[in-house]
Copies of this chain bind each other. A is one copy, B any other.
Amino acid sequence: MLLSNTCIYGLRASVLLASKLSDDFVTIRELSDELNISFHFLTKVLQMLTKSGILKSYKGPNGGVKLARPASQITFMDIVESIDGKQIIKECALGLPGCGELKPCPLHDQWSALKENILNMMNHISLEQLASNRASDQFNISMHY
């Protein structure tokens, strides 16, 4: 599994937030109900996103969370990095110490190519695209034998 459960929860909540038309704060309870995720756990996850500046939060009545920037300016990768960290994809699949351009491991070239594809996807797809289900506009991935 590439992404942690925690990260997937964060992504799903963020996409849901991006799909909301109004700019009002949305309560975490509402999100957790819609997504069928434990309220308390989702609270923890969204705290991470708030701390990293992806969400804004507001306490008290009519409070909740909302995206801190327009959905078009938040990428899939922003969420992933904020929750799972920058090193989701290891240098190489075999995790060999010191694997790199200089001393590539047996799988280095193939892995690099796949890694690039994954990272590109994450870096280029925005919450807006995910929310509007138009993510596919952006990409054309192919593989030749």
Contacts and interface: CB of A to CB of B under 8 A. Distances in A.
A128 to B, nearest CB: 10
A1 B110 contact: no
A69 interface: no
A1 B84 CA distance: 9
Copies of this protein in the assembly total 2
B139 A142 contact: no
A44 B129 CA distance: 45
Contacts of A131: 106
Contact of A1 (B2, B12, B94): B2
A91 B93 CA distance: 20
Nearest to A5: B95
Nearest to A93: B3
A131 to B, nearest CB: 7
A114 B106 contact: no
Interface string A76-87: 100000000000
A93 B2 contact: yes
Interface stretch (A22-30, A48-56, A57-65, A118-126): A118-126
Given A117-B114, A130-B107, A133-B106, A144 B143 contact: no
B12 A94 contact: yes
B94 A107 contact: no
